[in-house]
Structure 1
């Protein structure tokens, strides 16, 4: 009778799409680091737009020197990495235009960067964009992928965290 009395209430976090495009399960990413969830739970998007936006409210905690990835931290300590394309670190920042800096606070839908998809597509094998919760292994949360197949940046919930 009393076992639920002191139980923390469950929280639900909705993570929006960081870019407009086609939604895929992380397991479909042609890179085992992502597909085997070595970096954490998440989702992947094949982009058809050049704007990367904040999928959650949070703080920019990392921008890769090669500008291909941005890390955010939510107010409830979720760490989210948006990784544009695969093997894009080799582009040395070309084709990526970052609009934020580390320490900036952002809201859902705020533009983080723009990318030259045409340039990137011609230089690497995959423009698929994984978004992972890098500290997902530190909790017992449930990660629920949307049933949608297409998403709009900053609008479509692509991943729900329950726990």
Structure 2
């Protein structure tokens, strides 16, 4: 399964994530993107299960059962986004390429990091990524394989 990127920006290995929780794949394997755009786009058709942490976390489930967490984090603890607009609510059906949320990056003094973690990866094979730069809804961020 090819997962389209929900983010636009420079792709970074999850091992470079500043938070150990993600760096050591506590929730599951994933990939990060240093954001250059203000949109979060649905990476596949499915359901938005939950929006958490004041619009900084989104749990999505694809029609085939794959669950992912989209997380937004900042390099500084003091940073936050004043204007987050969530376009979809918990339990909403989502379509690939549809906007989930948008926010104002101009308020931030340092780049924001978007992370996609596969939550139910125990029955999957390796995850692959090959691009160093992605555009939300256009480029494939991860390719998920079966065991």
Structure 1 and Structure 2 fold alike (TM over 0.5): yes
Match of 1:112 in 2: 100
Stretches of 4+ aligned residues off by more than 6 angstroms: 87-93
Q: What is the SS of the residue equivalent to 2:33?
A: strand
Match of 1:7 in 2: none
Matched, 1:75 2:63: yes
Bigger fraction of residues in strand: 2
Structure 2: which 5+ runs fail to align? none
Bigger fraction of residues in helix: 1
Number of matched residues?
Answer: 146
Matched, 1:141 2:129: no
Root-mean-square deviation over aligned CA pairs:
2.0
C-alpha distance in 2, partners of 1:92/1:159?
A: 27
Matched, 1:34 2:12: no
Q: Give 1:52 deviation, angstroms.
A: 0.6
TM-score, with structure 2 as normaliser = 0.90
C-alpha distance in 2, partners of 1:87/1:103?
A: 30
Structure 1: which 5+ runs fail to align? 1-12
Q: What is the SS of the residue equivalent to 1:38?
A: coil
Q: What does the per-residue CA deviation read over 1:30-82, in whole Å, with 9 as the maximum and x for residues that have no partner?
A: 11111111111111000101011001111000101411111100112111111
Among 26, 44, 49, which residue is 1:56 paired with? 44
Q: What does the per-residue CA deviation read over 1:107-162, in whole Å, with 9 as the maximum and x for residues that have no partner?
A: 1110000011122x23xx651111111121x21422112x2111010110010011
